[in-house]
Amino acid sequence: MKTSRIEEYLDSLFPNPTCELIYHTDYELLIAVVLSAQSTDKRVNQVTPILFSRYPTLYDLSNANLEDIEEIIRPVGSFHKKAYYVREIAALVASHRGMVPRDREVLMKFPGVGRKTINVFLSEYYQEPAIAVDTHVERISKRLGLARPKDDVLTVEKKLMKAFPKEVWGKRHLQMVLFGRYHCKAIKPECGPCPLKDICHEKKKNF
Ligand code: SF4
């Protein structure tokens, strides 16, 4: 009952949610997701067109000067380690015949790539059923009682996979990200028009 109310509201707000990262190829998406850690899609979208036009092939990117990559991606933060990830990922993808491997175990060995990144990549690029738990998804899950406050991200992911039908995992992930980004924000969520107030654990703090 509670879950279906949440699903209905998310569907009404975002009937056709899409990933806001700009990309043209599988490796561009993977790198964009890696760059988005502790940053925003908006900032990533500011730097990736410059990065991928300066280095238009995997060969170019994997042979790029690290400091030049750092300079381009500086706005996304943590640019030292992210520049290293970008160059290494480009080299690894090149060594896999130029395609990002569609294999979780192989991808886990890529630098800067963890479970959340893999879930976003596989869900977005291949429409594989997966729920990536980022900061928005975690916060909303806990506010709405889909997870407990002390749950770690893997537990939240498992609870969401149980709560939602498998065929909509990717969609629910995107909807929760957008809900968290534009409505149920970390600070000063827009609770006024939200019809989920009666089931929200956050409401006491805001009303
Ligand atoms: Fe988020 Fe406020 Fe709605 Fe709770 S009532 S889900 S905090 S927008």
Residues with CB under 6 A from ligand 1: 143-144, 183-184, 189-191, 194, 196-197, 200, 202-203
Q: Rounded distance, CA 141 to CA 135, Å?
A: 10
| Atom 2, ligand 1: residue with shortest CA distance | 191
Give residue 3 CA to ligand 1 midpoint distance, Å. 14
The number of the ligand 1 atom at minimal distance from the alpha carbon of 201 is 4
Give whole-number Cα distances, 45 to 32, 42, 48, 112, 204, in Å: 8, 5, 6, 18, 36
Burial of residue 4 (number of CB atoms within 10 Å: 0-12, 13-18, 19+) = exposed
Please check whether residue 8 is in contact with residue 32, taking contact to mean a CB–CB distance below 8 angstroms. no
Q: What domains can you pick out in the chain, each with its CATH number?
A: 2-16+131-206 (1.10.1670.10), 26-126 (1.10.340.30)
Side chain identity at residue 145, one-letter code: G
In the prediction, which pLDDT does 204 show? 56
Q: Is the pTM of this model over 0.75?
A: yes
In the prediction, which pLDDT does 206 show? 53
6-22: per-residue pLDDT in tens?
999 999 999 999 999 99
In the prediction, which pLDDT does 2 show? 87
Q: Which residues carry out catalysis? A: 116, 134
Testing ligand 1's pocket by substitution, the residue of 6, 139, 143, 182 carrying the most ligand atoms inside 8 A of its CB is 143
In the prediction, which pLDDT does 202 show? 84
Give residue 53 CA to ligand 1 midpoint distance, Å. 40
Residue 205: pLDDT band by 50, 70, 90 thresholds? low
Testing ligand 1's pocket by substitution, the residue of 203, 204, 205, 207 carrying the most ligand atoms inside 8 A of its CB is 203
Side chain identity at residue 197, one-letter code: K
The number of the ligand 1 atom at minimal distance from the alpha carbon of 194 is 3
Q: Rounded distance, CA 147 to CA 158, Å?
A: 9
Q: Rounded distance, CA 17 to CA 14, Å?
A: 5
97-150: per-residue pLDDT in tens?
999 999 999 999 999 999 999 999 999 999 999 999 999 999 999 999 999 999
